[in-house]
Amino acid sequence: MKNPKYINKYAVVAIYNEGDGAQPLVHVEDTFCCISAAKKFAKEVAQDMLDTFNGPEDDPERSNYKFKDVWEKVDNHEDDEFLDWGYDPIDGMICWRVRVTWYTEEA
């Protein structure tokens, strides 16, 4: 019997973190085979959330926040077992965190 081979995969997740007493809700946005693609996509997810937060272009009362006003980059510079890379909202402006997390899958 052949030994199975395993590979790391990376999931970009959005985590609901509003302080309303609800249980945290984790939504997997997409999965990737390499961390660089996952990191790039995590920023795209965060940007999309910011665009929704800012509102539609034709709304005169829409917010006009920039990415750096709303998101704080998170990177603990640890090995994969402690990977914590993504974006946290600043001052609770957005009720979602975005993270890259890893898991192992049989190849």
Calculate what percentage of the chain has a pLDDT beyond 90. Answer: 45
- pLDDT tens-digit series, residues 1-47: 677 888 989 999 999 877 666 667 888 999 999 999 999 999 999 99
**The length of the chain, given as a count of residues:** 107
Segment among 63-67, 69-73, 79-83 with least mean pLDDT: 79-83
The SS3 call for residue 91 is: coil
Q: Is the dihedral of CA 72, 76, 79, 84 positive or negative?
A: negative
Question: Could you tell me the pTM of the whole model?
Answer: 0.83
